[in-house]
């Protein structure tokens, strides 16, 4: 009874003293990239923006480099409420909501304009909303970027050059199938284990955005990059739905505006980081492929379209193809 009265008194006190007693909300944010990466900088930018707009009531505490788990584990932790926010490659979300596999078909996206039309338009926004069915609230899309093919054996210009190479992929069935179609020997591995696996020769090849390649110092263990631009990886920004719904209407708006501002900042940063990474690795062989050479890879993708269509239907695939 005493405790109950004390709690009631505290509650009344909170009502009377208003915002002065408002508690800090510390958003625990995890991600798999390094601290020098643009995604980490985006969380820092978001944190500053939120702290400024809420007079320090909302702050972001960042846990980089898979400290809170692999990307799959981070998504599970968002569902469970052990982590409040994250960004992960959309490729991981296909196992939570198959609709996301529609973004994984290689060689669909030609340039960033097409990508942004899809992500920022109805298709991308519907995909984010569809995450609510699996206990996740999607806030927007940051940029992991166009993915390139790298290896430590030889220059790759054609599927024949890739024949049999042991290749690390993300945990995504569509990507695995695509690399099989062009003759590689693909297997998934969590990103946090990749450097050592490349160093020890467990894998010959990997694929990913070039700025991440540079940040992770993969150039110490890989000698060749082929600029294939085969897949564009968005970074959906995710929040635990309970944390989101507990925000006041005003704070929801502050968060949404801060995400929009951070998205502009981060996408620009990511694009510049790709350009800077190319310039910063003079000792690596970086190969630009001709449109015909790209087509030699893309022409193997029919079974991949079929696989995705079986899982998500043709409507979303056709809708993406009309935007890109
Ligand atoms: O390659 C991956 O697993 C992802 O691109 C990464 C680096 C974890 C970022 O989302």
Question: pLDDT, tens digit, for every residue of 123-177?
Answer: 999 999 999 999 999 999 999 999 999 999 999 999 999 999 999 999 999 999 9
Residue 12 has pLDDT above 60, yes or no: no
| Average pLDDT score over residue span 196-207 | 98
- The per-residue pLDDT for 75 is 98
Interatomic CA distance for residues 251 and 230, integer angstroms: 39
Residue 251 is predicted with a pLDDT of 98
- Classify the phi-psi angles of 223: left when phi > 0, otherwise alpha if psi is within -120 to 50, otherwise beta: alpha
3: confidence class by pLDDT, cuts 50, 70, 90: very low
In contact, 105 and 307? CB cutoff 8 Å: no
Q: Provide the greatest CA pair distance for the chain.
A: 79
DSSP-derived letter for residue 309 is H
CA gap 322, 117 in Å, rounded: 10
Predicted local confidence at residue 7, as pLDDT = 39
Q: What is the mean pLDDT of residues 108-136?
A: 97
Most informative mutation of 63, 141, 170, 209 for ligand 1 (most atoms within 8 A of CB): 170
- Quote the pLDDT of residue 10: 39
CA of 140 to the centre of ligand 1 (A): 17
CA–centroid distance, 235 to ligand 1, in Å, is 9
Q: What tens digit of pLDDT does each residue of 13-37 get?
A: 333 333 444 569 999 999 999 999 9
Q: What pLDDT is recorded for position 15? A: 32
Q: Candidates 35, 65, 67, 89: which one to mutate for ligand 1, based on the most atoms within 8 Å of Cβ?
A: 89
Average pLDDT over every residue of 253-258: 98
How far apart are alpha carbons 81 and 58 in whole angstroms? Answer: 17
* Cβ contact 239:84 at 8 Å: yes
Query: What pLDDT is attached to residue 23?
Result: 60
Give me the helix-helix angle, 314-323 and 122-130, nearest 10°. 140
Give every CB contact of residue 13 below 8 A, 6+ residues apart in sequence. Answer: 21
The predicted model gives 51-73 an average pLDDT of: 97
Q: How far is the CA of 90 from the centre of ligand 1 (A)?
A: 9
Query: Exposed/middle/buried for 8, CB within 10 Å: 0-12, 13-18, 19+?
Result: exposed
CA 145–ligand 1 middle distance (angstroms): 10
User: Cβ neighbours of residue 140 under 8 Å, at least 6 residues apart?
Assistant: 128, 236, 237, 259, 260, 263
ipTM associated with this complex: 0.96
Asked if 60 and 50 touch (Cβ cutoff 8 Å), the reply is: yes
Cβ 70 under 6 angstroms from ligand 1: no
Query: What's the rounded mean pLDDT across residues 59-75?
Result: 97
pLDDT of residue 22: 56
Considering the chain, what is the average pLDDT of its residues? Answer: 93
Q: Which atom of ligand 1 is nearest to the CA of 171?
A: 3
Q: Which residue minimizes the CA distance to atom 10 of ligand 1?
A: 89
Closest ligand 1 atom, residue 70 Cα: 8
Q: What is the mean pLDDT of residues 237-247?
A: 98
Running DSSP on this structure, what letter comes out for residue 55?
T
Q: Report how far apart, in Å, the C-alpha atoms of 99 and of each of 155, 268, 310 are.
A: 35, 27, 11
Cα(235)–Cα(88) distance, rounded to whole angstroms?
Answer: 5
Ligand 1 contact, 238 CB (< 6 A): no
Whether the predicted pLDDT of 256 surpasses 90: yes
Q: In whole angstroms, give the CA distance from residue 219 to residue 114.
A: 30
pLDDT, one tens digit per residue, over 280-302 is: 998 999 999 999 999 999 999 99
Q: Where are the alpha helices (DSSP H) in the chain?
A: 2-17, 38-53, 71-80, 112-120, 122-130, 159-162, 173-181, 194-199, 210-215, 241-246, 249-279, 291-298, 302-312, 314-323
Q: Measuring CA to CA, how many Å separate 272 from each of 56, 143, 280?
A: 31, 12, 12
């Amino acid at each position: 009874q005493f405790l109950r009265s004390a709690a009631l008194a505290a509650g009344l006190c909170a009502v009377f003293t208003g915002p002065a007693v408002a508690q800090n909300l510390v958003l625990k944010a995890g991600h798999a990239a390094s601290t020098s990466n643009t995604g980490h900088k985006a969380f820092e930018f978001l944190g500053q923006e939120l702290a400024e707009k809420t007079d320090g009531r909302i702050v972001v505490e960042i846990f980089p480099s898979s400290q809170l788990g692999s990307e799959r584990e981070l998504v599970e932790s968002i569902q469970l409420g052990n982590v409040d926010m994250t960004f992960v490659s959309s490729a991981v979300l296909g196992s939570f909501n198959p609709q996301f596999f529609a973004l994984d078909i290689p060689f669909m996206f030609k340039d960033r304009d097409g990508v942004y039309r899809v992500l920022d338009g109805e298709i991308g926004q519907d995909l984010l909303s569809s995450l609510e069915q699996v206990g996740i609230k999607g806030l927007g899309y940051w940029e992991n970027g166009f993915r390139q093919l790298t290896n430590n054996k030889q220059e790759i210009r054609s599927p024949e050059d890739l024949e049999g190479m042991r290749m690390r992929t993300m945990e995504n069935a569509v990507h695995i199938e695509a690399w099989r179609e062009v003759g590689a020997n693909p297997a998934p591995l969590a990103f946090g284990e990749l450097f050592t696996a490349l160093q020890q020769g467990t894998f010959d090849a990997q694929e990913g955005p070039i700025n991440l390649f540079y940040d992770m110092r993969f150039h110490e263990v890989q000698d060749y990059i082929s600029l294939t631009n085969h897949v564009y990886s968005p970074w959906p920004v995710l929040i635990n739905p309970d944390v989101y719904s507990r925000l006041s209407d005003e704070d929801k708006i502050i968060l949404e505006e801060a995400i929009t501002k951070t998205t502009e900042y981060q996408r620009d940063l990511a694009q510049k980081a790709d350009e800077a990474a190319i310039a910063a690795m003079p000792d690596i062989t970086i190969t630009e492929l001709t449109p015909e050479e790209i087509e030699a890879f893309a022409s193997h993708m029919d079974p991949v379209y079929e696989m995705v269509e079986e899982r998500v239907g043709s409507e979303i695939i056709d809708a993406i193809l009309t935007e890109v």
